[in-house]
Copies of this chain bind each other. A is one copy, B any other.
């Protein structure tokens, strides 16, 4: 399960520091998806901070809300949920102390516009925290041909949907295109490693679930990128990989913290 510790570790020291100055922090979590990171961030902001989690889809927000309640959080006191488009947030300028987005820009055809909108709603001296997968940067061992095909299909479907395959390496560039100076950006990379048996099983089964029921299968077949038989071969590949004691998968994410300067940046 994605949490603040495993998926927003680059933000946590900044969050702790900001909390010591202002225990009533307002954090905007854009594109919250299943909401596990949002809920985890809300726990870091207890007792008096607040997370506003947004997504473009109502059903996603309902499930995220259920998850937050299951974690013992009070809705709407600790965390609230609201439908929003990242391109046109309904908030005033300078409203949030921290704006967070995890694996969101990779789904967008105009990531620079989204960053500009995040900057708009962030308070001067506030922070924007982004983490985006670099989808080209997966390394499998063993390199089963069916898994390499899976990886290719995932990237091709992402691109066909208007998303981004190299977000990790482009983050700094996108943020500068939105008007931020390099000196106000802290950049790094973080990794996920799936290698010990429990991690292999959880990740492999999630990928099989995605192949069996997700839109990757449907879009892949629709676009002529794969076939039903091709998908079944990929499922078998993941099953084999889960069972291989020496298997590894590394995935790379770009991670940045942007400090908004007092004056609003000028988008290019």
Give A contacts to B, CB under 8 Å.
Answer: 134, 136-137, 139-142, 166, 168-173, 176-177, 182, 187-193, 195-197, 245-248, 250, 252, 254
Contacts and interface: CB of A to CB of B under 8 A. Distances in A.
A252 B246 CA distance: 19
A187 to B, nearest CB: 4
Contacts of A136: 139
Contacts of A134: 139, 250
A201 to B, nearest CB: 13
B193 A189 contact: yes
B245 A176 contact: yes
Given A189-B191, A250-B252, 11 more contacts: A137-B139, A137-B250, A139-B166, A139-B252, A141-B169, A141-B173, A168-B250, A176-B246, A177-B246, A187-B193, A248-B254
B166 A182 contact: no
B182 A139 contact: no
A204 to B, nearest CB: 15
A118 to B, nearest CB: 18
Contacts of A250: 134, 137, 168-169, 189, 252, 254
A196 B169 contact: no
A64 B197 CA distance: 40
Contacts of A140: 169
A245 B192 CA distance: 28
A166 B166 CA distance: 21
Given A139-B134, A252-B137, A195 B166 contact: no
A188 B248 CA distance: 9
A137 B170 CA distance: 16
A234 B118 CA distance: 38
Pick the 5 closest A-B CB pairs, nearest first. Answer: A173-B246, A189-B191, A141-B169, A139-B169, A187-B195
A187 B195 CA distance: 7
